[in-house]
Structure 1
Amino acid sequence: MPCKEQPRLNGYAWERGRWFMARKTLHRNCGMMLIALVLVAGIRSGMFFDGDIYGVGAGFGVLLLLMMGTKRRGGIQGQEIHGIGMMPGLVNLDKGLRVVLGCICGMILMYVLHAIGRPLSLEGTMKEIILWGSYGSFAAVAWRICRAGDGLRMMQAGWHLMGAVLCGSALLAVYGLLELPYGIYHTADADISATGARLGGLLQYPNTFGAVMAAFLLERLFALPSVLRTRTGTLRAAAALLPLLPYTAALLLTESRGAWLAAALACAAGFAQERRAFAPLLVAAAAPLASAALLYRQLAEAKLAPAVLPGLLWLAGLWAGGVLAGLLLCRWRHSGGPWRRYAAPGTLGAAVLLAAAAGAVILHQVQDRTLGGAATLSARRLMYGDAWQLARSSLWLGRGGETWRQSYLAIQSQPYVGAEVHSGYMDILLNAGVIGLLLVLVLVSFMAAGLIAVNSRLMPAAFVLIGHAAVDFDWSFGLVWLLLLWLTVMGFAAASSGREVQNGPIAAQRRKPFKIGKKLLAVYEGNRGNQPLLPLLRVTAIVLLVCWVLLAAALGISEVKERWAASEPPGRQIALLQSSLRWNLANTEAALSLADWLPPSQRIPLLKRSLVYAPNHPGLSWKLAEAYSLRGESEEAAAWYIAAIDRDRFNDVKQTRAVLKLAALADWHRTGGDPTRSVEAARAGMDILMRYRALAVDFREMDDHRNDREFDLSMLAARQANRLEKMLNGEHEKHAARQPMKADISARR
């Protein structure tokens, strides 16, 4: 009998080994594709623009579909249960995935309900559906990959590669070795930059780039104790210290006070979690950080445009000097001999002096901006106040995606500039209401609490991204959410893997045999009890995911065609824009661009169809008013001019143009022998002018106001008062007939 059973056992073992190798290859390939997609997201402005969101999101969805299909065939989870048993760490990992995906699916459901109803922007709502679906797909794929030891190491290597690409490209742009459009922001406003230049890198926005660099810096900083507490070689210790200078220099060059403060608070939280790591970390990191401060001062004085060769030599010298000094301090701290008792206090004192000197250099360089900046703070206060008043109009459910972008021109109390509300949490409140904000708070709280519970060194890096989003629009960059989920997955997986390596599965089961047995039994019984529902749920999930991927692909194709149209001749532009609208009827930018090429008879129906998907869009209303004025329909033109101005109150160009166009229409009707319509047009023009004048007077009488948009009553509009009054009083002057299609001043969309 044993001889008969032996071939069957060998065949089973061979088949299982082959399946295991296939699964390992699949995880490796999926991990590489996942990292490649995140790299594309980082290179493409951090997934800020619509076209990048749709393309990368569709890629995540296809990758998840691939893994779901192979999981069905191989039965990964079932194989682990029928084999040696699911490890307790992996059980907890799957529980964490359910919480994360549950919150993300809740957000998707919120936006789906908005899309079914009447959101302020259907396109913005669909974009949020694609974004949150991207986060869920990334989390699910990364979670599955990190369950294997090789997958976890691959994700960790991908994290370092991502940091190197973001930081390296920014510093190469500073030295002129890489052409990076909009990577450096130049300004003469001391409230915005103390040195006249700020580093934005691939993200093109210094504040968010600073928060991202702070996250990568803190991840490397708190990884030092695990390297330094072991008997490691010199090369490995030097490699651990090597990333500190570039990350710190990039963070400093952003001049983001919010990112600096978030990094300081997260660092303090990390030290509170690991109190014993404070001294060794300070000793090891003080010299590289001091070198980074000197490099920052040199580059800031050169306004981020240093001479290439001397600048690179200065960089190499400071970089090498900081690493060598850090290694020497670490060696002296553990040195023996007669001075052994003084080695640790002495090196700690030297490290404190270096850190203090670095802080003094930084504060001296940015003291005006650090102590000043009242203008930017006042703008934030105004913005938050207006956003709260807008949120109260639909407090529980919000108004769908891009609520602030569609509404802020109509509700802003003063003419500041800010198409993005500078708070990720406030943006969520506007879009998805209190319910959506609670879901996001549960999600970030779970991630933060989970990292604290497993005592992960990644907690400070996650805290930076969570905290800085409160004071800036970091979450408008999809990359920030991906990095936050990346940290969470790596932290949970590393903790589970570490426990398994340290204790082993048998030791873990011996320690808590009854609890582990109950868990495994519950999983097994749950699977048996829900056996008929599992295929149905799996098919439903796959169908929904396929629909989501197709939606992302359709929106992406529409965006690509719209971008292509800008560089094509007129005939080709019209065809591309029409095709773009066929793929996405809610693409308002494509509709606005196409309207410029169409006659008024075709332009008006197009714009009215687009208004169904974005009823408060100021550009669509303005284009409609212009189209009606071109046709000489003064009543409709006046109604749409008023609607467009109500949706963009502090636009003096639009206010002036509306008055001039209605005055021209009144002249045209009078010349054409239609005094009734002439008076109606003149009355509408006078009403707009009086409202415009009253708004300008009220604004000038404000005690403390800001005028980023340079709003004021224009002389050209004020001169139309007598002209309109004469028309209303029935006085006639011999004016040349003015055709309404001739513009008095340039229009602004």
Structure 2
Amino acid sequence: MARKILHRNCGIMLIALVLVAGIRSGMFFDGDIYGVGVGFGVLLLLMMGTKRHGGIQGQEIDGIGMMPGLVNLDKGLRVVLGCICGMILMYVLHAIGRPLSLEGTMKEIILWGSYGSFAAVAWRICRTGDGLRMMQVAWHLMGAVLCGSALLAVYGLLELPYGIYHTADADISATGARLGGLLQYPNTFGAVMAAFLLERLFALPSVLRTRTGTLRAAAALLPLLPYTAALLLTESRGAWLAAALACAAGFAQERRAFAPLLVAAAAPLASAALLYRQLAEAKLAPAVLPGLLWLAGLWAGGVLAGLLLCRWRHSGGSRRRYAAPGALGAAALLAAAAGAVILHQVQDRTLGGAATLSARRLMYSDAWQLARSSLWLGRGGETWRQSYLAIQSQPYVGAEVHSGYMDILLNTGVIGLLLVLVLVSFMVAGLIAVSSRLMPAAFVLIGHAAVDFDWSFGLVWLLLLWLTVMGFAAASGREVQNGPDTAQRRKPFKIEKKLLAVYEGNRGNRPIQSLPLLRVTAIVLLAGWVLLAAALGISEVKERGAASEPPGRQITLLQSSLRWSPANTEAALSLADWLPPSQRIPLLMQSLVYAPNHPGLSWKLAEAYSLRGESEEAAAWYIAAIDQDRFNDVKHTRAVLKLASLADWHRTAGDSARSVEAARAGLEILKRYRSLAAGLHEMKHLRNDREFDLSVLAVRQANRLEKTLNGGTRKHAARQPMKADILALR
């Protein structure tokens, strides 16, 4: 009884944590990652700390009791956790070495540890029939929260900052508004809504093929409209395509499900298309009362029409032979009409969008060139974020690489990418092997991550693991309930008699998992991981809290933030603004050890040295900062201005040599600035999202710098070129 209560309480806490992850922007921001990660780690520690009975746990199924075995479920857990632990090890090796960002690398360690903790706890909970049902109910609750909050925000009933993205760019939105929901990003939100929609869609055959009451059938059809409407309102072409491919894969797995699914779902999907058109024309800001009435009418009409089509398909009497083809034909017409409505609404965006695609091609090309520099092992967490400003071939905007697989390749190289491919392939293959209806939902999340940065949202990985655990546990439960013959028929999960005999014979032995030393080691490592997540989380909270405090309190909080996490570059940058240059420079130098290619740190150092009048060091760091942010015309212009001012200041002070060096450095930066701007103007297909151009203010400094340079060289012999000094200082 105590064990049952423990499992139930752990299940409730796990569900609460995942709901928090969904509500908090899908675990995209650092503070949410650390907080939720600590919760997962503490929950796993709680479960590991309890007394473990037997080497292999049983599973409780209604009417069966505790069943031994389920070896394949444990085998699946070992594969999943093995791949996750491999990823953690990759990032640990980077953290020990010299990654581009120690903070980003530690964040990835916390993220992958969170995934492993969630998978382990969810696996344990789903081993019981009650636990599996709890996780299934929680899945529906998560979908209702994500979809319901987004639609309530559309109707103005819920204040959801950044939940709706407005734009006048037709390449980005055909209607001027896109739905991002709690995730605040329409493309990823579309993929998540597609996963929830496909899970409900492929659950229909099991409900409708039985003698189901009207209320239960209506309840099964009820979620289709909101999920479909939310998916359509994101206007994510990638999510739509991924959903279509996943749906086709689902029908290929269950060929006989196509006709009943089309008949049942056509009417709700057609109603969703009409709702989408109405909301899109209102730019996601409909009149509240008429809009809600329209929603209620379409929702009820879609469900009732779906029920009528299902009843028509199964009707008897003299026209029985014509009932099924007639219902199928009517459903096909409804589906075709819905498709026509959708395509008419977004035809310009569907057939166009060449600018968006060209930006992706540029980004992928630059990312591949960056990946080649460390192809096998990568360069640690946040490689793209730390590097893209320095290596981008054109001034596009993209702090995320827009491909989860490419991001993994950049961070952990080919080895890490292979681990992830093994993990996702095992998930999909396992769900296919057990004929799980959850396969299409998992497939859409895996597929869409190839063309967008879905995996930067921790929630997406949690949903993927959630689907896998439920699919494997439900399949194992069916095999136990249907008897050994069913298990024998499923070859990928067949349990041979010899294996059972060995298991029964060794039941009294203590397996390796229960060895005290191994258990203690695992608990110690997990506790260390929890403490690391807590320290990073406290640092993040203090750094964010400092923004709303008075100056004196801000300095105290930022210093405390850096004590908890010296690698917190944002805290260092914020603190540097409050310190005099003599204290600012050592702080920034120390922070640069943890993020050597951070453009913000180099820029702050250049500014600090310029305030101290140290023109040589300032010039070196200005050039370093510009090299790390090539297409920033503000930095180019300010660097030229500051060096011109330093040159004048040195000349006034009578130091002609330093004045000449500062002027020479300013002219060198201006020359490179001109060359970079001219090169962009010569490109035929330029992607200039950052509006990079040669500024008039920078050009005006040319005569000023040349006058200083010529005046100084008449009195002093020229030194070696400033470039050599810059390289030496760097």
Quickly name the TM-score band, shorter chain normalised.
over 0.9
Deviating beyond 2 angstroms after TM superposition, the runs of 4 or more aligned structure 1 residues are 71-89, 497-533, 731-749
Distance in structure 2 (CA, Å) of the matches to 1:327 and 1:368: 35
Shift of 1:78: 8.4
Distance in structure 1 (CA, Å) of the matches to 2:719 and 2:269: 69
Distance in structure 2 (CA, Å) of the matches to 1:334 and 1:279: 12
Shift of 1:531: 4.8
Distance in structure 1 (CA, Å) of the matches to 2:501 and 2:380: 40
Change (3 A) 1:157 1:743: farther
1:382-407 residue CA offsets vs partner (Å, 9 max, x unmatched): 00000000000000000000000000
1:422-456 residue CA offsets vs partner (Å, 9 max, x unmatched): 00000000000000000000000000000000000
Change (3 A) 1:525 1:660: farther
Shift of 1:323: 0.2
1:557-593 residue CA offsets vs partner (Å, 9 max, x unmatched): 0000011101101100000000000000000000000
Change (3 A) 1:306 1:694: same
Shift of 1:206: 0.1
Shift of 1:748: 23
Change (3 A) 1:511 1:591: closer
1:221 to 174, 198, 201: 201
Change (3 A) 1:318 1:25: same
Shift of 1:499: 3.0
Change (3 A) 1:532 1:180: closer
Change (3 A) 1:598 1:359: same
1:80-121 residue CA offsets vs partner (Å, 9 max, x unmatched): 999999857721100000000000000000000000000000
Contact 2:657 2:716 in 1 (8 A): no
Change (3 A) 1:519 1:177: farther
Return the TM-score normalized by structure 1: 0.92
Change (3 A) 1:438 1:224: same
Contact 1:53 1:130 in 2 (8 A): yes
1:41-64 residue CA offsets vs partner (Å, 9 max, x unmatched): 000000000000000011000000
Shift of 1:22: 1.3
Q: Secondary structure at the match of 1:299?
A: helix
Distance in structure 2 (CA, Å) of the matches to 1:307 and 1:744: 66
Change (3 A) 1:652 1:70: same
Change (3 A) 1:74 1:94: closer
Shift of 1:339: 1.4
Change (3 A) 1:712 1:343: same
Change (3 A) 1:369 1:685: same
Change (3 A) 1:88 1:434: farther
Partner residue of 1:50?
30
1:147-173 residue CA offsets vs partner (Å, 9 max, x unmatched): 000000000000000000000000000
Shift of 1:337: 1.5
Change (3 A) 1:499 1:80: closer
Change (3 A) 1:560 1:322: same
Shift of 1:536: 1.0
Q: Secondary structure at the match of 1:737?
A: coil
Distance in structure 2 (CA, Å) of the matches to 1:475 and 1:514: 30
Change (3 A) 1:198 1:525: same
Q: State the Cα RMSD in Å.
A: 4.3
Shift of 1:334: 0.6
Distance in structure 1 (CA, Å) of the matches to 2:317 and 2:654: 109
Distance in structure 2 (CA, Å) of the matches to 1:667 and 1:233: 88
Residue 523 (str. 1) matches residue 505 (str. 2): no
1:437-486 residue CA offsets vs partner (Å, 9 max, x unmatched): 00000000000000000000000000000000000000000000000000
Contact 1:630 1:740 in 2 (8 A): no
Contact 2:101 2:380 in 1 (8 A): yes
Shift of 1:703: 1.4
Shift of 1:146: 0.4
Contact 2:172 2:353 in 1 (8 A): yes
* Range with bigger deviation, 523-532 or 713-722: 523-532
* Range with bigger deviation, 737-746 or 216-225: 737-746
1:180-227 residue CA offsets vs partner (Å, 9 max, x unmatched): 000000000000000000000000000000000000000000000000
Distance in structure 1 (CA, Å) of the matches to 2:504 and 2:542: 52
Distance in structure 1 (CA, Å) of the matches to 2:477 and 2:632: 60
Contact 1:284 1:326 in 2 (8 A): yes
Contact 1:187 1:197 in 2 (8 A): yes
Distance in structure 1 (CA, Å) of the matches to 2:492 and 2:591: 63
Shift of 1:598: 0.4
Contact 1:93 1:492 in 2 (8 A): yes
Shift of 1:319: 0.2
Shift of 1:69: 1.1
Change (3 A) 1:731 1:110: closer
Shift of 1:503: 2.4
Contact 2:656 2:712 in 1 (8 A): no
Shift of 1:287: 0.2
2:668 to 687, 696, 708: 687
Distance in structure 2 (CA, Å) of the matches to 1:300 and 1:80: 48
* Range with bigger deviation, 734-743 or 155-164: 734-743
Distance in structure 2 (CA, Å) of the matches to 1:585 and 1:514: 49
Q: Secondary structure at the match of 1:649?
A: coil
Distance in structure 1 (CA, Å) of the matches to 2:335 and 2:68: 43
Partner residue of 2:373?
393
Q: Secondary structure at the match of 2:496?
A: helix
The gaps in structure 1 that reach 5 residues or longer are 1-20
Contact 2:61 2:477 in 1 (8 A): no
Distance in structure 2 (CA, Å) of the matches to 1:278 and 1:670: 83
Q: Secondary structure at the match of 2:178?
A: strand
Distance in structure 2 (CA, Å) of the matches to 1:168 and 1:414: 40
